[in-house]
Structure 1
Amino acid sequence: MIILFKIILCSGLLIALYYGFLQKEKMYRFNRIYLLFSLLFSYTVPFISISTEAPKPVNHLQTTLETTQQILDLTPKQNDFDLINLIWILYGIITIIFLCRLIISFMKIKNLKGEKIIYQNLKVSVTEDEIQPFSFWNTIYLGKRYFINNQIDDRIFLHEKSHLEQKHSIDLIIIEIVKAFTWFNPAVYFYKNAILMNHEFLADDSVLENNFNVKDYQNLVLDEIISSQNYTLTNTFNFKNIKKRFIMMNTKKSIWTQVKKAISIPALVISFGLFVEKTYAHPIEKMIEKTQKKMSEPDYDPADQTKQNEGTESVKYDLSEASEIPEQLIENKKIQDTIRPKEGKSTNLNQETVSNSTNDPTQLPQFPGGPIELRNKVAKLLDPSKLEAEKGLSRADIMFTVTDAGNVVNVKVAGNNESFNNEALISFKKANENVTWKPAEKDGRPVNYAMRMPLTMSFE
């Protein structure tokens, strides 16, 4: 969601810069490059990640992974309708509509019937329908009334020839594809209008460079305004926004042209700095590598795995480069005792403790290789570069259900640190891809079993 917001904001700022500073200047080729580059730039830069120094030193990261288990529901039930699924369905439907429109427009062009000729080394299709001239890809299309005595008006031909030689169809295909998949971005529609208008400026300029009278050419354009033909992927000779075209035909190059070109470059640099994904350089990656290595050593006590299955002891690993951190461990121990009391202590049943009711299964779900293996996989798949340090303790509770078939479903996460929640959810889902658990059993038959996996993280 953050990336989409950055794309919309970045593309909006860059197209606003075009309309505010560049559009009215007679530098059409530069403007074309700017429009295409800034569009692709705004859709790319939020995905680029750069490493910067942390705003404050991160001295310590401690993570505690518990496998406290509880029975929430032993009977199958339908999943609640997820609003996210509805959003994806609506997105898919609207995207398909845009793509269908694009394909239909392409097929309409290809299905135009007419005589194919070579005119001044260019492909021309003289159609049976009385359509006004337009160009697409490598062909000029026009009705019979524009091809008199085997001749085409030089001004019309030069206009459409300019579209072909400058490959304007590529620009249109790019913007239509971008619009189809990101139709929710209002900046895309401004980009499309700006690109189409700039194409017409370029084509008009090509005609007037051949010393045709400006007023005669403008009268020709006005004569063609009576008829209209609209194909999404085409450049038509009659472009509706005539007023701007006529103004630009009589505009002279400004002394500020070079200055405005220069302004656009630092604007792109500033946009890069604002919308690039920033990650803080800190030793978390090394911490994780060191911890994983330490956990693989033979002196690691495998009895912890049995304790985890019983739900009586938490599995704790310290992602720290410090050898001793007694104060932090004491603090964390107090937190653990609050979350899950030690064995032997009496406590009321609640969401944080293991249920001891008569509904308890005779066998709990088991991850292949045991909970130690699950812990190792989750820790390995965490992406530290996406974690945002927050003062104090951050906790993510991963809730999930192991079905009677051994599949993990209904994975949800709740916690006070959004970045930690997201990474915990992603790493847990990846750890369970193509994995079949041994399901819980009650009275000798497999049953659904809901579980909770708390994951806590603290920075000093």
Structure 2
Amino acid sequence: MINYIIQVILFQILFLAVYDFFLSKETFFIKNRWYLLSTPIVSFLLPLVKIPTFQKVVSQEYVVYLPEIVLSPEKVIQETSWYPSINYIDVLFSLGVVFFALLFITKLVKIILLIRSCKLDKKDGYTLVLIPNQTKAFSFFNYIFLGNNIPKSQKEQIIAHELVHSKQKHSLDLLLFEFLKIVMWFNPMIFIYQKRITLIHEYISDEVAAKSAPKENYINQLLSNFFQVENIAFINQFYKQTFIKKRIIMMTKNKSKKMNQLKYLLLIPVLGIMLFYTSCANKQESKEISASEKLLIQNQKIKEIELQNIILENKLLKDSIKKLKKEKFYVEKLSDYMKKKLFEEQKSNSKAFEDLGIVTKEERKEVSFMTIDKAPTFPSCDSGDKDCFHKMVQKHFVRNFDAEMPKKLGLSPGRKKVFIGFKVDYNGNVTDVVARAPHPKIKDEVIRVMNALPRMIPGEQDGKKVNVKYSIPFTLFVEDNTKNE
């Protein structure tokens, strides 16, 4: 989801850049209005478009995050969480949506109260709302709000201006961006879009209204008067000081040549680049957890708690686990138990791989192991058997890693994280083994063990052999030797 949002924002930045540099100075106001209305919507749709032809242009490399290898299962079991985790990003997003929704409703109620409390004068095609002791002038759909303190000589020109807003349904444009501001309140591009289209509305109304009177008189009226301005983003206001200079410049500017309309053709290569980018991006590995998957995770947590109680109550079982630890055989026995629990840590681990330089951000975005046609196969496993691959890699690691070596390095007791990355290339060879560890000797030992992996049967996608990158989080528990003395 975050990847989708980032793409939407980037596309909107690109569309706005094209508008500001090439189109904003032209007098094609109606076309610019539709440009500003359509491009933010297109930005939401483009990331969903995948063109297979583009996907085949770029060779794909897959990244897989294997289940974590853990030494000292007792301590892992004791760290089982008794409380459900909270997704603070979702909470923050929801609070933002509620806040901006309430802000919108408050402003809408303010307009409704003005309509109900002020004198109404129904005209042909619109309703004039007369606001006592005010110099406000703005419109909202077919309602034109006019302060009683505005001189009568100016009211006719203001009404003519606001009628253009009313007839061309400019309020609908502004409400669209109000809705987008609610659902994407964190996106600054939406606010910029709304400001741009508000200015376009004024250009359109000025162009029409100035035809009914000498243009010089209309400009002088803008310069010589100051009206109160409502702080409401989805109304069309006759007077907004920040726009006055730009409106006057545009009114005095010569009409753009029709040849300049060719600038809109810039959208063709821009859209092509965007489609190429979205099509080449693989589907995200992580999927939304369904209700059934959540239930499975809950059941697994219950089983973990039950196992914890058994371990704490049964001294014999505790001694048995310690014995398995000394024989370096416990991971194979507990791998099935740990598999689902450790899956929850894979997302945070994947970010850690990126921060440590083992996996780049681009590689992490291209994770798509779940959609690969045929995964690499460990020599003793059935073709494409992912679970068997994971188990055999873990088994190889436990059997070959010198578990006594970390105890001799003088490391502080506690949990130590090691990150391992390697690639099964299109020939089945294990290459590019990298690791980050709390001690150089541990790093060298990890690389030695992983380089000793046998040659695999390579993975395939669309009938072609492809490279597949793997990343394994490895947790090592260093005991406090002083307690044993």
Residue 4 of structure 2 aligns to which amino acid in structure 1?
I
1:117/1:125 contact within 8 Å kept:
yes
**Which residue of 2 is the match for residue 235 of structure 1?**
236
Q: How does 1:2-151 map to 2 (within 5 A)?
A: 2-52=3-53, 53-55=55-57, 72-73=76-77, 77-79=81-83, 85-112=87-114, 113-146=117-150
Alpha-carbon distance in structure 1 between the residues aligned to 2:335 and 2:118: 82
Q: How does 1:358-377 map to 2 (within 5 A)?
A: none
Give the direction of change, closer, same or farther, for the CA distance of 1:275–1:172 in structure 2 (3 Å limit): farther
**In the TM superposition, what is the alpha-carbon distance from 1:127 to its structure 2 partner?**
2.4
**In the TM superposition, what is the alpha-carbon distance from 1:21 to its structure 2 partner?**
1.0
Give the direction of change, closer, same or farther, for the CA distance of 1:349–1:56 in structure 2 (3 Å limit): same
Q: Which range is displaced more, 136-145 or 162-171?
A: 136-145
**Which residue of 1 is the match for residue 289 of structure 2?**
none
**In the TM superposition, what is the alpha-carbon distance from 1:124 to its structure 2 partner?**
1.6
Alpha-carbon distance in structure 2 between the residues aligned to 1:226 and 1:58: 61
Give the direction of change, closer, same or farther, for the CA distance of 1:193–1:396 in structure 2 (3 Å limit): same
**In the TM superposition, what is the alpha-carbon distance from 1:144 to its structure 2 partner?**
2.3
Mapped pair 1:339 → 2:394: yes
1:21/1:260 contact within 8 Å kept:
no
2:33/2:200 contact within 8 Å kept:
yes
Q: Which runs of 5+ in 2 are unaligned?
A: 284-331, 340-371, 405-459, 476-485
**In the TM superposition, what is the alpha-carbon distance from 1:122 to its structure 2 partner?**
1.6
2:227/2:239 contact within 8 Å kept:
no
Aligned length: 327
Q: Secondary structure at the match of 2:121?
A: strand
Q: Which runs of 5+ in 1 are unaligned?
A: 282-308, 351-383, 400-460
Give the direction of change, closer, same or farther, for the CA distance of 1:331–1:28 in structure 2 (3 Å limit): closer
Please identify which structure carries the higher helix content. Answer: 2
**In the TM superposition, what is the alpha-carbon distance from 1:336 to its structure 2 partner?**
4.1
2:136/2:227 contact within 8 Å kept:
no
Give the direction of change, closer, same or farther, for the CA distance of 1:238–1:50 in structure 2 (3 Å limit): same
Mapped pair 1:225 → 2:280: no
1:10/1:275 contact within 8 Å kept:
no
**Which residue of 2 is the match for residue 391 of structure 1?**
467
Q: Secondary structure at the match of 1:109?
A: helix
**In the TM superposition, what is the alpha-carbon distance from 1:269 to its structure 2 partner?**
2.3
Q: Secondary structure at the match of 1:153?
A: helix
Mapped pair 1:181 → 2:172: no
Alpha-carbon distance in structure 1 between the residues aligned to 2:149 and 2:277: 52
1:25/1:257 contact within 8 Å kept:
no
The CA RMSD over aligned residues, in Å, is 4.7
Structure number with the bigger relative contact order (C-alpha 8 A, sep ≥ 6) is: 1
Query: C-alpha deviations, 1:187-220, integer Å up to 9, x for none?
Result: 222211111100000000011233x111211122
Alpha-carbon distance in structure 1 between the residues aligned to 2:219 and 2:255: 20
Q: Secondary structure at the match of 2:240?
A: coil
**Which residue of 2 is the match for residue 424 of structure 1?**
none
2:64/2:468 contact within 8 Å kept:
no
Query: C-alpha deviations, 1:212-231, integer Å up to 9, x for none?
Result: 11121112222332533332
Residue 132 of structure 1 aligns to which amino acid in structure 2?
K
Alpha-carbon distance in structure 2 between the residues aligned to 1:93 and 1:335: 41
Alpha-carbon distance in structure 1 between the residues aligned to 2:182 and 2:276: 26
Mapped pair 1:208 → 2:193: no
Query: C-alpha deviations, 1:240-286, integer Å up to 9, x for none?
Result: 210110011111112265344433432542353255344679xxxxx
Q: 1:249 aligns with which of 245, 248, 251?
A: 251
TM-score normalised according to structure 2 size: 0.56
**Which residue of 1 is the match for residue 455 of structure 2?**
none
Residue 139 of structure 2 aligns to which amino acid in structure 1?
S
Q: Secondary structure at the match of 1:126?
A: strand
Query: C-alpha deviations, 1:404-449, integer Å up to 9, x for none?
Result: xxxxxxxxxxxxxxxxxxxxxxxxxxxxxxxxxxxxxxxxxxxxxx
Residue 205 of structure 2 aligns to which amino acid in structure 1?
A
Q: How does 1:285-434 map to 2 (within 5 A)?
A: 336-340=391-395, 391-392=467-468, 394=470
Residue 215 of structure 1 aligns to which amino acid in structure 2?
E
Give the direction of change, closer, same or farther, for the CA distance of 1:59–1:320 in structure 2 (3 Å limit): farther
Q: Secondary structure at the match of 2:239?
A: coil
**Which residue of 1 is the match for residue 199 of structure 2?**
197
Query: C-alpha deviations, 1:98-146, integer Å up to 9, x for none?
Result: 2222111111111012122222332221223514221002211112234
Give the direction of change, closer, same or farther, for the CA distance of 1:117–1:327 in structure 2 (3 Å limit): same
1:117/1:124 contact within 8 Å kept:
yes
Residue 77 of structure 2 aligns to which amino acid in structure 1?
D
Identity value in percent: 23
1:31/1:198 contact within 8 Å kept:
yes
Q: Secondary structure at the match of 2:232?
A: coil
